[in-house]
Amino acid sequence: MVVMKRLLFILIGVCLVSGAVACRKHIPFIDADHPLHTEGGSGKMYEKSPDAIRFVQYNVGVFSKFMADSSPLCASILKSLEADVVGLNELDCNNSRHNTYQMQVFAEQKMGSEWEWNYQASMNYKGGTYGNGVMTRLGPVTDRWGKKLPCDDGSEPRSICVIETANFVAVSAHLDNTTANSAVMAAEGLNQYVTEKYGESSKLVVLMADTNTRKTTPAMTELQKSWTIAATDGRFDYVLVLNNKAKYRVVSSAVVARSDAGDVSAASDHNPVYADIVLL
């Protein structure tokens, strides 16, 4: 009888541990070579300087990685984070997977009427499209544009999505790494399109991107010819600043692993990554 009880306790313990592992969606990866940093502050979680603009990179996985509709949770996380500008990846638009305009609904209904936005389709998908979005509450937006990125044979088409205000330009991008050269080709195109328009500008230009590559890869080496990393999770997601004539200072950055708004790991298989930037 004693032996049976011990076996039972062991089995229960194994099940509890297995269940805990199975429920863990993902663990945020922190880049030891590009540490998160902050200037001052009171120790409050993700505290933002009143002078800073918070740029957030967020791959939301068509709002359905781990639940039927994670858009309310994603919106709550971003609001709690006091996001000012957000680049969004993996958005559906009126296709058979999600028969809704995800970017429009998210910005206008989930985030609020003060948010202005743009969407750029990367490819046709199941009767609709799939692409990137970018939005800000620091309007008015004075220009919106987007462009397909070069792609290798056999890789998924990708794009950049852009909004411009009086004070900054925000770019959202999502690179593909299906083939060895696909991300490099996209990075080359991205650099060309943005530097042609803003390379000599004194306006701050910020790229929020899921590059699907670590920063030592050829694609990131190519990107860093034109951009400086302001924040990264060290794996896929980055906030970068264009090397033009803009004067700015990055005052803080973080990978968002916790939120008072809810379980970040349940919202997507990516964590939000942000950089707080002060214009000088």
Query: pTM of this prediction?
Result: 0.86
Q: How confident is the model at residue 279, as a pLDDT? A: 98
Pick from 135, 74, 128: nearest CA to 101: 128
Top-level CATH class of 31-277?
Answer: alpha beta
- Preceding peptide of 140 cis, ω within 30°: yes
CA 6 → CA 1, 11, 12, 14, 19, distances in Å? 9, 9, 10, 12, 20
* Numbers of helices and strands, H then E, in the chain: 6, 12
- pLDDT tens track of the chain, all 280 residues? 444 445 444 444 433 333 433 333 444 444 444 445 444 444 568 999 899 999 999 999 999 999 999 999 999 999 999 999 999 999 999 999 998 999 999 999 999 999 999 999 998 889 999 999 999 999 999 999 999 999 988 888 999 999 999 999 999 999 998 887 999 999 999 999 999 999 999 999 999 999 999 989 999 999 999 999 999 999 999 999 999 999 999 999 999 999 999 999 999 999 999 999 999 9
pLDDT digits (tens, 9 = 90+) for 24-47: 344 444 444 444 544 444 456 899
Strand order in the sheet with 168-174: 143-148, 159-164, 168-174, 204-210, 237-242, 227-232
Question: Whose structure tokens read 């929020």?
Answer: 208
Question: Whose structure tokens read 């297995």?
Answer: 18
Rounded to whole angstroms, the Cα distance separating 179 from 143 reads: 33
What stretches of the chain adopt beta strand conformation (E)? 53-59, 85-93, 116-125, 128-136, 143-148, 159-164, 168-174, 204-210, 227-232, 237-242, 248-255, 273-279
Tokens of 227: 């951009």
DSSP letters, 7-28, are HHHHHHHHHHHHHHHHH-----
The structural domains of the chain, with segments of one domain joined by +, span 31-277
